[in-house]
Structure 1
Amino acid sequence: MNQLLLIVPVLLPILGGAFMLRFPEREPKLHPVLTEFVVCTASVLIWILLLTGRADEKGAVLFYLAGDLKVFFRMDRMAAVFAGLISVLWPFATLYAFSYMEGDKRARSFFSFYTMSYGVTLGIALSGNLVTLYLFYELLTLVTFPLVLHEKTSEARKASRKYLYYSIGGAAFAFMGLVFVLIYGSTTDFTLGGVLNSSIPGFNFNVILFMYVLAFFGFGVKAALFPVHGWLPAASVAPTPVTALLHAAAVVKSGAFAIIRLTYFCYGADFLRGTWAHWVVAAAVLVTIVYGSTMAVKEIHWKRRLAYSTISNLSYVLLGTVMMNPAGVTAALSHMVFHALMKITAFFCAGAVMHRTGKTYVYELDGLGRKMPVTFACFTAVGLSLMGIPLFAGFISKWNIAQAAAEAGGVMGVLSISVLLYSALMTGIYMLTVTVRAYVPGKGFDEKSLDGVKEADWKMLVPIVIFTAVIVILGLYSGPLMGFLTKVTGGGSL
């Protein structure tokens, strides 16, 4: 029974989404309803595992690929964090999509691949070994590619091709890292501390480090690591329910999650700490934070500005990861959770405004705070949280990262804290600029130009308000969650 509880949440959305492709387009209301049913059912099964601790330590083998290579699911504490996160986000994102996609001529295709993406992302979360994670990582590209292409405009076609090229290239690099784990590891199963065995003939320290760097950048494509980040701003052309999950949970967090697994459960922090490979990936992460936050200030397209913000904030997660200490892992996981909540809410706010007004650029938002007060109040709260202002969740995770950097000490600690302070300043500029324009329009503003503009309907507002409330609650009372995340660094089952 426990093995079925591990397998069914993954397969149900994949098979359900594939089945929906056979439904007629003339039943538009059926697609979102079926999507919500499948997504909620899978989420309930995940939470049964989380709340009852019924996950099987031995895991569940779906099938064998060849020899000992198996597609294998297991719920350890690391899996619980990611699976629990996406199982909360996806049902609300689907509710939001009800309203956003209403009247869309290609709704069947959208909801079908949207549902399959949930199952594939759960497959990444519950992967018990690197082979399974890599398989579902590749599948994620295939099922999200049609979502980026959804509008089928020339811009969407260009963005989807870029996304595909980057993802395939990244997967090739990640595959090299997988091969070396297969050859020089005692197992491919995730084991805290790493699985490399230096006694195996042909083991070469520097070659293994080089393969780690390649795999880091390979998985880093989906985490939008500089210089392999270019697909993410382009993907903002997709419908907002897609970009919200691309930037909050499904794709970018899968990349960050894969890097955490690769670093701590395959190659091992003790093996990597202090090596040239460690410095290479740390430098890439610091550069990405600076680059992403700087570009967000310069970007005037609202969703692309949020995309550059994601590039910067995803590397906050990676910064905690490359600290190579338990405090860094805890900090990385806390920001992975909190950033997901913050960024999905920010995109939902932007999507609600764009859906109601058609305005896509920051300079077009003058005065909208008066017409859509709930939406912009929530966006302001998210902005303060992303800045790291106390009483909001973002402060907790950024403080954790700064503490991990201080614990690491040395040049890396000093550089990390300096970069965090710079990024916080840039975040304040690119987030609060939107808020100020919305509430305090400049000279020449004509309020009559906003006649007829009103708040989005309840299906959009409910997810926005709930996630904003959670951000505030976690900022005030994050103790239980942080306690659990601290335990994650000790490994083990639930």
Structure 2
Amino acid sequence: MSQYWMTVAILLPIIGGILVKVIPFPNQKIMKIYLECVMVVTSLLVFLLAWNRPEGTLEVVHFMQGLSISFRIDGMSMVFSVLIAVLWPLAMLYSFEYMEREQHQRVFFLFYSVTYGVTLGIAYASDMLSMYFFYELLTLVTVPLIMHSLSRQAIHATRKYLYYSLGGAAFALIGIVFLMVYGSQLDFVLGGVLDLAKAEEKKQVLLVVYLIACLGFGVKAAMFPMGSWLPDAGVAPTPVTALLHAVAVVKAGVFAIIRLTYYSFGTDFLRGTWVQAVVMALAMFSVVYGCTRAVMERHIKRRLAYSTISNLSYIIFSAMIMTPLGLVGALTHMVCHAVMKICSFLCAGAIMHQTGKTFIDDLNGYAKKMPVVFGCFLVSALGLMGVPGLAGFISKWNIAQAAVDSGRVQAYLGIGCLLISAFLTSIYMMSIVFRAYFPGKEFHYEELGEIRDPSWRMCVPLVLFAAGVAGLGLGSAPLVRFFTDVANGLY
């Protein structure tokens, strides 16, 4: 395919979203059909670009020597872009029913659609500067989504998100400046772009710079101590928080850390240094910290937010092993967690939408009234726990295998953190399930009223995501082989 189709894929949802405020749709139904068509067409184009990958780099905007906005599709681009393309149209379909009770729907769908295009820009970026441009643009286009309700809580959460994100941006920019000085280029090259002759003279300085840049990108990845914005952002509508936690923002953070580590600084330069140990330790602490806070949290969306903090650090921990197997584990969990977490978040949103309940203590007995929603939630819960046959098991298995293969004592300690996390995950996920399915012999279901599952627009995405959790667990072999090829530079 022509390189220019990458630009079309990025611009289609951006322009399509902007037109939502321009086109005088006769009614809401026509507008929603239009939006879903834009999402589906964009996703089909992304699939075609992954299937028939264009060769070379497309330079869109040239600034000066070595600085431009450029696009290229490599293995990492294929993984992230296809993941986005699978999840976004279904999340959009879900949002149509969820947002019916909300105001300012056109503004919401405008930015919801634009965010798709901006996230694709991160996936297709061919170099660090291009990725940084779309990475920060992602901050700006998601601000109106978090602030959608304009409540005091939403405004507070948005300010916090902005403060953290802009601070992280400044840290990340420092890394880009040093890559320009000590690197042969800013393009993403597996193995890194540092001029090792020049870099060795300033190795300790560059290691500090890498740590600063990694922490900067770690803001969106919600790594401790930069992740406190994420639970607060749950005040946004559930279709937003689902994509924030599953794909758009947090996965952009871990994607950027992988790019920085494997494709810019290079693992040969970083492996065995103190900075590898520091970032790995932060990831290990984040794994346990997120689970512990999730067990203590009683609000369902905030509990899932802390779960996200923990699971994102699984990905960072695996990436910090800095071996091909470590990268395979990171990519596997990046994909598997996205499907499991978007399923659990959308289930939580459906529960809140149908019942008006937001706290776990109020969910007793609702599984009988909403069998589809709680059935899908159960599948996602078991997957997050790592039950064999589901997506979470295969991704955690790959991470543990990479840790053992590395032979590092710290990596073995990381396996211990994963085991602790699995135990705590079973507590904070299954406590919701047990309340819903087993409220007690003396519970009176009549007290719940006429609660039922939502319509097909919300249930179809939930069922498909739950099927995806099972499908990834039972049929992951081709995907893992592809990730292995990516990790070895074959794509």
Q: TM-score per shorter chain, which class? A: over 0.9
One-letter amino acid of the counterpart of residue 469, structure 1: A
Q: Helix, strand or coil for the counterpart of 1:102? A: helix
Pair 1:37-2:37 in alignment: yes
Write the distance in 2 (CA, Å) between the matches of 1:366 and 1:476.
Answer: 32
Which of 55, 59, 62 is matched with 1:61 structurally?
Answer: 59
The offset of 1:183, in angstroms, is: 1.0
Alignment of 1:286-435 (within 5 A): 286-435=284-433
| 2:472 corresponds to | 474
Write the distance in 1 (CA, Å) between the matches of 2:200 and 2:271.
Answer: 22
The offset of 1:66, in angstroms, is: 2.8
- Alignment deviations for residues 302-325 of structure 1 (CA, whole Å, 9 cap, x no partner): 000000000000001111100010
- Judging changes above 3 Å, is the alpha-carbon distance between structure 1 residues 303 and 196 closer, same or farther for their aligned structure 2 residues? same
| 1:28 corresponds to | 28
| 1:120 corresponds to | 118
Q: Give the alignment's TM-score, normalised by structure 1.
A: 0.97
- CA root-mean-square deviation: 1.4
Pair 1:143-2:141 in alignment: yes
1:405–1:413 contact (8 Å) kept in structure 2:
yes
The offset of 1:442, in angstroms, is: 4.1
Of 10-19 and 296-305, deviating more is 10-19
2:3–2:55 contact (8 Å) kept in structure 1:
no
- Judging changes above 3 Å, is the alpha-carbon distance between structure 1 residues 203 and 17 closer, same or farther for their aligned structure 2 residues? farther
| 2:3 corresponds to | 3
| 2:437 corresponds to | 439
Write the distance in 1 (CA, Å) between the matches of 2:289 and 2:315.
Answer: 15
- Alignment deviations for residues 88-129 of structure 1 (CA, whole Å, 9 cap, x no partner): 000000000111111422100000000000000000011110
| 2:12 corresponds to | 12
Write the distance in 2 (CA, Å) between the matches of 1:31 and 1:291.
Answer: 43
1:73–1:126 contact (8 Å) kept in structure 2:
yes
Write the distance in 1 (CA, Å) between the matches of 2:140 and 2:29.
Answer: 26
Of 465-474 and 144-153, deviating more is 465-474
Alignment of 1:177-216 (within 5 A): 177-200=175-198, 203-216=201-214
The offset of 1:274, in angstroms, is: 0.9
Q: Helix, strand or coil for the counterpart of 2:73? A: coil
Write the distance in 2 (CA, Å) between the matches of 1:145 and 1:25.
Answer: 26
Of 419-428 and 272-281, deviating more is 272-281
| 1:229 corresponds to | 227
- Alignment deviations for residues 271-314 of structure 1 (CA, whole Å, 9 cap, x no partner): 00111111111111011001000000000000000000000000
The offset of 1:394, in angstroms, is: 0.5
- Alignment deviations for residues 23-54 of structure 1 (CA, whole Å, 9 cap, x no partner): 45984334433321221111111111122x2x
Q: Helix, strand or coil for the counterpart of 1:257? A: helix
| 2:109 corresponds to | 111
One-letter amino acid of the counterpart of residue 327, structure 1: L
- Judging changes above 3 Å, is the alpha-carbon distance between structure 1 residues 492 and 477 closer, same or farther for their aligned structure 2 residues? closer
Identity of aligned residues (%): 52
The offset of 1:444, in angstroms, is: 5.8
1:184–1:203 contact (8 Å) kept in structure 2:
no
Write the distance in 1 (CA, Å) between the matches of 2:222 and 2:199.
Answer: 36
2:66–2:185 contact (8 Å) kept in structure 1:
no
Write the distance in 2 (CA, Å) between the matches of 1:256 and 1:82.
Answer: 11
- Alignment deviations for residues 195-229 of structure 1 (CA, whole Å, 9 cap, x no partner): 00033489510110001001111000000000000
1:25–1:108 contact (8 Å) kept in structure 2:
no
One-letter amino acid of the counterpart of residue 77, structure 2: A
- Alignment deviations for residues 451-482 of structure 1 (CA, whole Å, 9 cap, x no partner): 11000110000010011111112211211111
1:317–1:336 contact (8 Å) kept in structure 2:
yes
One-letter amino acid of the counterpart of residue 246, structure 1: L
Write the distance in 2 (CA, Å) between the matches of 1:104 and 1:28.
Answer: 13
Note the residue ranges of structure 1 that are not aligned, 5 or more in a row.
none
Q: Helix, strand or coil for the counterpart of 2:100? A: coil
In the alignment of these two chains, the number of paired residues is 491
Write the distance in 1 (CA, Å) between the matches of 2:324 and 2:293.
Answer: 31
1:76–1:491 contact (8 Å) kept in structure 2:
no
The offset of 1:182, in angstroms, is: 1.0
Which of 228, 233, 238 is matched with 2:236 structurally?
Answer: 238
Of 74-83 and 95-104, deviating more is 95-104
Alignment of 1:274-293 (within 5 A): 274-293=272-291
Write the distance in 2 (CA, Å) between the matches of 1:400 and 1:116.
Answer: 34
Note the residue ranges of structure 2 that are not aligned, 5 or more in a row.
none
